[in-house]
Chains A and B, each alone.
Chain A
């Protein structure tokens, strides 16, 4: 066997951060492809067929949708705060920031549920349209990504509060996930809620 020069084991190269970044790419591709299909159906309904895209009588509540967007701005601030605090070994502030991110994430979940209740949009009814099922599919998929994000916050908080304070990479990865999720929601908010 040929002898190659040996070395000390290399320091970990941001595995969690890179893995999270790749996960974010996949999540963006998922929602991006769904938005593309949504736009195609909308264009067909409005421009080609000359009809309506949002079914008659259905009102899209904008207040909770806008609140969700603002909540993401708050999440950006708190996620970045956790990164800042973790770098300075401010354990209590990091834990508080992570908890706030999870709580605001849960609030966004609640706002989405509120939208479902207010819209009273039947997924299947007497006169079903493509809009109904597609609205639930795309917002439901986003909710799944949101729940993953909340889980990420909770796990990061437990790890940090459990004493793994030197593990700052996961805090940065956590912030990255929420930034991307926020960007994805911005696209979804504009396409699904604003342009309708």
Chain B
């Protein structure tokens, strides 16, 4: 097969000698419509944001070790909490996975480009501009609950800008999966990651406009009257559903697609019951998106002696729909993945470990959220919700790091050494558990959410200390990964076209993929077109 440009430097920007060439290169990046570059821009900025925001998370963790002491300025703490929650959700979680999908999905579909690439590029720059303004406004005491009136207004408007950018990129991605598949690739043959990207993008197109609607009302009310929406103190209450569960499950849906994909590749076999895996991924995405949009209170109680059956059912049915169905979806993907691993003698690689652990962490988050929503558990308003959220966000980050390792050859032309990056998956897993599990325990002991001063009778030093250590460990993991990736992608070993023995179309083009991805348009006759051409691993 021939391709348009097989030179590594040519596709990755390259190093130019003269200043005018350098300027031209910068201009190319600013105006690029190449989906791989747009995806890489999303990935790079979200990783930079991740490093900064984990520092904030660690500081808040340390601050909570001593419930009465204050290492940080008391007035700054609510703003830091806002930065931590909103930042990790909309500057890291959503754009990291969206960026990976934008970079990879057209390659998987056998398409030469993303549909509406200018829309995706505009989405990136809009998101970036909005994200910078959000950070500035929160830093200037303008976040939810902030005292600087003008900056609170700026925060609300820039938050809308952030969400518009992400929605634009999601629209471009979803249209690509629906319209630019290779000949023969019907929807049942779409790669698992592309399917999850489609579900995630559709979920974003449902959830983000709902958050934008709440933000518009909040902004107009805040700017002109401050009577209906409670001013700056109530902002979190109106827009919080955008960065809490179940909305975060929608954002993290691609995690399951990536895990299923790397499991199949690691075992060297077709994944059994692909249709059921598709259903599992769709269940997580669709039910979570509906749950986030409808915000139906699920007043579930074990005791039905004091309430009528109808009233009890009116709490249980939405609870089951919006909390248990996502659990079922996640369980389906994880179970079928585990079955495939058991029967397939998988090759243990860093993307596999990252992908599996990431999906497991997100699944634990979904499971814990089902407990959180039970009224009898009395966890509302406690730090338990933060624990669930950290599981989802850090699980998605682990998966994102795995995806960068896995598809790095197609984007940069070089490999991250597997032996060097593999320990980081374990370290990231430990960091995720340490950063989130203590909050679940402290939630049962009624430690309040988003508070640095509280009356808490349990061993608060221990739990909050462990959580802070988890954040620090995550910082070390991400720093080490970024350093390793930067070194490997610039000076590392040149990757072959198919270093992982992949199954899907992206491995049929050169590494890195050229500008238009493929010179020839491929016809596919199955969901794993490359696997069909290879000899069976066990034969």
Q: Which residues of A contact B (CB under 8 A)?
A: 1-10, 12-15, 18-19, 22-23, 25-27, 29-34, 37, 41, 123-124, 128-130, 132-134, 136-138, 140-141
Q: Would A10 and B521 count as touching, CB distance under 8 A?
A: yes
Q: Does B229 contact A (CB under 8 A)?
A: yes
- Closest A residue by C-beta to B111: A10
A-B pairs with CB below 8 Å: how many?
A: 143
Q: How far is the CB of B4 from chain A (nearest CB, A)?
A: 14
Q: Does B374 contact A (CB under 8 A)?
A: no
Report the 5 A-B pairs with minimum CB-CB distance, sorted nearest first.
Answer: A130-B228, A128-B225, A30-B209, A33-B213, A33-B210
Q: Would A23 and B217 count as touching, CB distance under 8 A?
A: no
- Closest B residue by C-beta to A8: B521
B interface size (C-beta, 8 A) = 52
Q: Does B497 contact A (CB under 8 A)?
A: yes
Helix, strand, loop or mixed for chain B's interface? helix
Q: Would A1 and B179 count as touching, CB distance under 8 A?
A: no
Q: Does B377 contact A (CB under 8 A)?
A: no
Q: Would A12 and B179 count as touching, CB distance under 8 A?
A: yes
Q: Would B229 and A130 count as touching, CB distance under 8 A?
A: yes
Q: How far is the CB of B406 from chain A (nearest CB, A)?
A: 18
Q: Would B508 and A2 count as touching, CB distance under 8 A?
A: yes
Q: Would B520 and A6 count as touching, CB distance under 8 A?
A: yes
Measured CA separation A7–B195 after assembly (Å): 23
Q: Does B182 contact A (CB under 8 A)?
A: yes
Q: Does B216 contact A (CB under 8 A)?
A: yes
Q: How far is the CB of B520 from chain A (nearest CB, A)?
A: 4
Residue from A12, A13, A37, A124 within 8 A of B214 (CB atoms): A37
Q: Does B461 contact A (CB under 8 A)?
A: no
User: Which among B126-134, B167-175, B266-274, B322-330 touches the partner chain?
Assistant: B167-175
Residues of A contacting B48 in the complex (Cβ-Cβ under 8 angstroms): none
Residues of B contacting A141 in the complex (Cβ-Cβ under 8 angstroms): 213, 216
Q: How far is the CB of B31 from chain A (nearest CB, A)?
A: 21
Please name 20 further chain A to chain B contacts, defined as beta carbons within 8 Å, in addition to the given A34-B213, A128-B225, A128-B226, sorted by A numbering. Answer: A1-B1, A1-B498, A1-B510, A2-B498, A4-B505, A4-B529, A4-B533, A7-B182, A7-B183, A18-B179, A19-B116, A32-B213, A37-B217, A123-B225, A124-B224, A129-B225, A129-B228, A130-B229, A133-B224, A137-B219
Q: How far is the CB of B413 from chain A (nearest CB, A)?
A: 14
Residues of A contacting B179 in the complex (Cβ-Cβ under 8 angstroms): 12-15, 18
Q: Would B115 and A15 count as touching, CB distance under 8 A?
A: yes
Q: Would B522 and A7 count as touching, CB distance under 8 A?
A: yes
Q: Would B213 and A22 count as touching, CB distance under 8 A?
A: no
Query: 0/1 per residue, B249-281, Cβ < 8 Å to A?
Result: 000000000000000000000000000000000
Q: Would A130 and B210 count as touching, CB distance under 8 A?
A: no
Residues of A contacting B219 in the complex (Cβ-Cβ under 8 angstroms): 137
Q: Would A130 and B530 count as touching, CB distance under 8 A?
A: no
Q: How far is the CB of B529 from chain A (nearest CB, A)?
A: 6
CB pairs A–B below 8 angstroms (10 shown) = A2-B1, A4-B523, A7-B184, A22-B174, A33-B214, A37-B214, A124-B224, A133-B221, A133-B227, A140-B216
Residue from A5, A12, A18, A31 within 8 A of B213 (CB atoms): A31
